Amino acid sequence: MKKKFNIEINNISLFITAVLFFALFTFGSISYEHFFSLSTFLNLFNDNAYLIIAAIGVTFVLLTGGIDISIASTIAFTCVFSAFLLRLGVPEYVVIPFVLLIGLLVGMTMGYIIHTFHLQPFIVTLAGQFFMRGLCSVISTESIPISNEFYKKMALSKLKLGSGKLYYYVLIALAIVIIAVYVLKYTKFGRSVYAIGGNEQSAILMGLPVKKTKIAVYAISGFCAALAGVIFSFYTLAGYSLQNIGLELDAISSAVIGGTLLTGGIGSVIGTTVGVLIQGVIQTIVTYQNLNTWWTKVTIAALLCIFIVIQRVISLRSEKKGN
């Protein structure tokens, strides 16, 4: 019954998310000239590739019932530290693996502290947020430009697809989506993630590796945040300590709008990806309308509240049917 209950909520939430995306894209297409085009659609991926990766990482954490609010600071640190090392002459094939390893270790450390000492994930990852953002300022309070040839090439290289273009770094984001879908759906680790989010005590009684899994999801989140930082540095060719303040909320809201429950156990990577694209469509509509960019945040906040209520209603109705 629990599995059927989870599948039902997953399907309904994903359906609602997909309908919302198509409704917003249709609205934009009817309202604005040149909105309905392959170029506009592909730009949703070009402009949000880094957010897709970061949101996927945080989805793993949310599925276990945890939360990670350190990802924006990790992204900023990755950009600043990468720019700093590249300016010193360190080659990109050393810099990129190094910053990815740092993100992985930071996430793993937070996961270990959360599980071992039974601390609230919010508090631990808040400390992680302050730590990583503080390191950014220690390295430099000013923007550091990136002039490395590989980074420039990644920033400009693209595939021509009809009337649109798709930058190479988007392919990295799409690869992460595919890998994450496979891991969550077809591996023992993925099933453990859902089981822990559904009921951690039951997962322990079933003999599932709860400790390793919880540490692993935070490690994945940290790694994805660092990878998102690498992609963002391709996108901006600079590192700045105040980059992406508040982006962790964009990632979490994308996951929730995509159908992931904050209580854990229910959600999907595909839903999260569509949630990111919904934010991209809203941003595009705001730009076409020539409104203040804060209207994007206002709209996302309203959608977030609506989706939380919808999820709760679906959950209550499914529970009644189960009884």
Using pLDDT thresholds of 50, 70 and 90, give the confidence band for residue 275: very high
| Cα–Cα distances in angstroms (integers) from residue 22 to residues 14, 17, 41, 276, in the given order | 12, 9, 11, 13
pLDDT (mean) for 128-157 = 96
Helices 210-236, 188-198: inter-axial angle, 10-degree rounding: 110
For residues 224 and 53, the answer to whether their CB atoms sit within 8 Å is yes
Q: pLDDT tens digits for 222-235?
A: 999 999 999 999 99
Q: pLDDT tens digits for 187-204?
A: 999 999 999 998 999 999
Residue 8 pLDDT: 57
Structure token pair of residue 193: 């993630």
Q: Is the pLDDT of residue 111 over 80?
A: yes
Arithmetic mean of pLDDT over the chain: 91
Q: pLDDT tens digits for 116-127?
A: 999 999 999 999
pLDDT (mean) for 98-123 = 97
Q: Is the pLDDT of residue 2 over 80?
A: no
Question: Rounded to an integer, what distance in angstroms lies between the CA atom of residue 190 and that of residue 20?
Answer: 27
Model confidence, pTM: 0.94
pLDDT (mean) for 37-42 = 93
| Cα–Cα distances in angstroms (integers) from residue 59 to residues 11, 28, 181, 305, in the given order | 17, 28, 11, 18
Which residues are within 8 A (CB) of 183 and not within 5 positions of it... i.e. 6 or more apart?
189, 190
Q: pLDDT tens digits for 299-320?
A: 888 888 888 887 777 767 656 6
